[in-house]
Each structure stands twice: as C-alpha cells, then as structure tokens.
Structure 1
C-alpha cells in the first residue's frame, strides 16, 4: 500500500515539473515573436535601359570669323555692313595708305642704299682695300634692309580685310575713320551654309555616357511647326559646363531647312546606341534617399541588412538602380521604413 502511494507521489511531482517547464518557456517564445518584425520582400527585376534622351538644343554656327587688319591705322573704307552676305575672299575694308606707303618707300630706299654699299665694299675687298670685317658688316646691313623691305611690303598687302569665309555679317565692330590696332576685329561673320549649322545640347553626365558620335537624332523646331528633321551626333565635349554642370554634344542636321539663325531652339530626341542593364525595385523599398543615392534592406539569415545603392532614374512607381545590388536578389518593401540594421524579420 505504501509503495503504491510512493509511485503516485513520484508521478505527481514529475507532472508538476513538466507543467512548470512549459510555463517558463512560453513567455520566452512569445517575447521572441513580439520583437520579430513582419515584412514583405520583392524580387529584383533587371531591364535594359533603352529610353530615348530628350533635351532642348540651340542652333549655332560651326563657322565664325572675326577678320582684322595686320597693321594698325585709320580705317579708310568699309565695304560691308551688318546683315550683308559675303563670300570668301571678298574685300571688306581698307586702311588709309599714306603712312603705310611711306614706310614701304622708306624701307625700299634703305634697301637700295644697302645694296649700293655692298657692291662698293665688295669691289674694294677684291682689291684688298677693304677688310673682311668691313665687307661682312655691309653684307649684314644689306640682309637686314632686305628683310625690312619684305616686312613693309607684307604689311601693305595686309592693310586690307578680306572675308576668310562665306557667310553673313552679324556685327560690324569698327567703322570708317576710326583708328584700329593690329588684330582688332572689324567684323563678326557667321557661316550660313547648310554645312555650317549645328545644334548644341547639354546632357547630364548619366545621359552623356550613353551616347556616342554617330547616334541618330530626331529634331523638331518651333520655327518650323509640323516638320520633322533628322541628324546625328558629330561631336561630344570632353569638358563640362561651369555653370550648368552639363556636357555638350553637337548635332549635324541631315536635312536642314533653307533658313536658320543662331539662337533658334530645337527639341532633340537622341536614340542612344549604348544600352545599360539596370536593376529595378519598387519605390517603397527605398529609405533615406537624397535623389542620387539611397538605402534598401535585404534579409540575410533572418536579419535585416541595410545596403547603399545608387539611383539611376525613376520609372513611375519603380526605381532603376545603377549600382549597389550586385549579388542581391530580393529587397524589403512593406515595412522597410521601420527597420534598423540587424532587426529580426520574417516574411
């Protein structure tokens, strides 16, 4: 009888300990579930960036000339005015030649005297009357006089201005009777042939690297409504604009209209030949973004891991990421803004 009570007592004790153990473990499990955050994850998509680049461009002339006189003096005559069409080699202006002619005459007379002195001393040197030194001195003087005369004749030749290009006079800087110095521009001439016109457009650094010379361009202009033009990129600037921070490209039109002017605007659509592979994630996956960079969370071993990414561009409710997601296949969307590095998560 006593043995029976002993067995029952032992079973009662064991049962009590088992219940106590379960009760002790239950709060720990509940606490763990409370601190685990529930999130949703989204699979990262990959797209090939092929969107067109759309910017505004300005019509410019590739050829510009600012002709000037080689020598200074008083302007005698100007033959062209603003708005005139000129051809290459056309006479535009001349100087008063009185002073210049006097310089040429003086140089030529000095040359004649030096030549006579050279002949006389040369004869004396043959007769051993003049020394070698005397002969060398007059020969040097002759060479100096000859070069001086050549320079004077050259300056006389360039005491007139001829147009270096065919185009239109867009500005006359100096006029009849004014005193000009060497190299001071008298006119500004822009080339106006179809081969002279280009469209210059500024691209962001991300768009600039997507283009290359030869890329096709579609062009529309407010000055010619309803007309579509085509062209291609012919030059890419290697220096960014100081103020704008953009990089210029130059576009040649295949079918330029007959009349263009510097400053006309054009809407440009560039078909870039360089394609980029971009990873795309939902916008809500981004946290702490400044427009260029941001952070996303991914899940590793049940823990939230924060990753910095570089934003490529916005695509509606999605974001193209240019770098930072290498080796990552999923990102947290719902609940991402409440996460911290190392938080326990489940999905």
Structure 2
C-alpha cells in the first residue's frame, strides 16, 4: 500500500504543479483574490457534481468509500478554516509588504512545517533516511525559488507569509485525521468553503466577476489542480501519513517549472537543473525507505476502505467487491513487516 500512496502523492504534486503555469495565463485578467476563489470553487463545484452523479444508490455492501463520521466534522472544519480561509488571507496580506523573491522562498516553509507538526505534535514515525529525503526535497525547492534578494528583517509581511504556511501545514495534518472518509467529499467541502470566502473577499474589495469564458477556464484549472489533486493527496495521507505525503507534494514547483519551459519558452536554468537533482535524490530516498520492525496492533473497531489483506481477515454474509468499506474489528496482533504510518500503524518508536 506504500507504493499506492507514493504514486498518488506524486500525481497530486504533478496536477498541482501543472495548474500553476495554467493559472499564470489567467492572473492578468483577474485579481488574486478572485482567481484564488474561482480555482477553489471550480474544485468544490466539480467534485460536488461528481459526488452527486456517481453510484449514490449502490447497495451497502458495494460501497468503496464512506461518509464523514460525526466526530470527524470538527477536524475537517478546523482544517478548512486553517487552510482555506486563514492561509489565503494571511498570504494576500503578507504579499502586500513582502518582495516576490522573499515570498517565493518563504512559501517553502509549508513542507517544513507540515513535517515538523507531523513528527513532533502528531507523533508520526521518523528516521534519518526520511529526514534526509525531506531536506533534499526542500533544498531543491529553495534553489528553485531563490530570487537572489531576500529581506525578512523587520515588517510584518514576511511573518504573515510564514504564518500562512503554518496554517496550510495545520490543514495538512488535520486532514490526515479525516482521510479515511471519502476524499471527494473532503475536497468538495474544502473547495466550496474556501472558494466562497475568497470570492466574497474579492467582491468586497471591488473586484468584478470576469467574463464567462475566463470564469469557466479558471474553474476547470481549479478542478484539476486543486480538486483532483486534493483527492489524490487525501488518498496518499491514508497510506503514507502526513510528513511523507507533504514531502512528495513539495515537488510541485519543479513540475510547474518544467511545464513553464514548454508553455512560455522559459530557459532551462542552472537552478532548475539543481532542483531536479536534489528533489530526485529526496524522492529516491523516500521511495526506497524500508521501515521494518516488530510492532503491536491493539484491538480496534473502525470503518474505512480496505481489502482482505493480512490486516483484514474477516468474513462476510454475502459477496463483496474490493475495496469496500464497513465497520470491522481488529484483534490484537503482534508481527513484523515493512510499513508506513497509515491507519493501522500509528505507534511510537
């Protein structure tokens, strides 16, 4: 399942990275607030339609995903507030008092904050190889965003940008808490709330709605880079945990840089080449991780998508499809195998 998580995390980064140069084509026609709002709304509305039109009448035994539980809503709402409202607001205000080069460099803090919160607050497992991979990926992102002039002394602008990154890191870690629920539901709710807030702020600041073709284009980009990408990100959270997923997702700026080479004829720079080497090294360190030790699974009852593997050995009254979801109980088990901090391997080291 670790390979599934790695693949979906990298694909999420690719989609988000591709959306950045696409959004750049639209930024001249829209205010930053309006563009952000339409990108989020495109995600929320598009995924909402997917949710409404797919097998809503499927029999209980045929469900492959489950709805959010009542106890999960506070986590999701807190994540939406942190990442969909507080983060964008802090970023936009911070950009008014921060140079573009400084802001680009500071935005790399999201991956760092995400990993630090996962390791030290939410107690995900960590080892030296994982840290080395994370350092290499972040170093590649720093090289890619280096503008040659950084000014973080004085002023509240850089502090606001850094705090926005912290809010997105909080969002990533809180979303992990609900990642066993339907990822389409999670991404749709995030998109609708964040999109509505950002469009509302844009209108309050005097921005008008764009022409219909521009609006549709922005929303389609949002569905791709914010919606489908977030669905894949949530699936990766299930299998890899927050720190590893965030590390893979930190490669998105490199993808955007590669796409920009072809879209805008931008030159292949030494920074882009160095970022490729560093990020490639970091991804390789993560892909070749072998976290293997004896561990104990305590007895637990929960509900999530699963297949009948070594952790799910239970009978059904009738035929089922795989993966499927239903409430099931795990007995206490002690064994040893390679694993990641997924829903069945949340333990201290």
Interval containing the TM-score (normalised by the shorter chain)? under 0.3
Question: What is the TM-score of this pair, normalised by structure 1?
Answer: 0.20
Q: Point out the structure with max Rg over C-alpha.
A: 1
The structure, 1 or 2, with the larger RCO (C-alpha pairs under 8 Å, 6+ apart) is 2
Question: What is the TM-score of this pair, normalised by structure 2?
Answer: 0.20
More strand by share: 1
